[in-house]
Amino acid sequence: MLGSGFKAERLRVNLRLVINRLKLLEKKKTELAQKARKEIADYLAAGKDERARIRVEHIIREDYLVEAMEILELYCDLLLARFGLIQSMKELDSGLAESVSTLIW
């Protein structure tokens, strides 16, 4: 597909590594967000509304980041699932091009 510089097995291994790393990072961020939610409840109970608002904004940003990681994980899964097809193609299918372009960007 991509000429002599394309190393299929290396790509397969790297996609699996990326998926595992993303899952670990998602889990870590989700656990930290749960702890932060408890902190927010404590801040509100103590009447520290402004501090709670700042923590909420941080949690929202982290939630968006986790969602982005989930999308990247889905793209990696898609490429792994279609790996045999990718190897046999001469030109990249438009459906897979979005996944590849997103991961490269």
All structural domains of the chain with their residue ranges = 8-104
pLDDT tens digits, 36-66: 999 999 999 999 999 999 999 999 999 999 9
Helices (H) and strands (E) counted in the chain, each on its own, are 4, 0
pLDDT tens digits, 56-98: 999 999 999 999 999 999 989 988 888 887 777 777 777 777 7
Residue 99 has a pLDDT of 79
Residue 11 near residue 55 (C-beta atoms within 8 A):
no
Burial letters 80-104, b for 16+ CB under 10 A, else e:
eeeeeebeeeeeeeeebeebeeeee
Residue 82 near residue 95 (C-beta atoms within 8 A):
no
> Per CATH, the architecture of 8-104 is what?
Up-down Bundle (1.20)
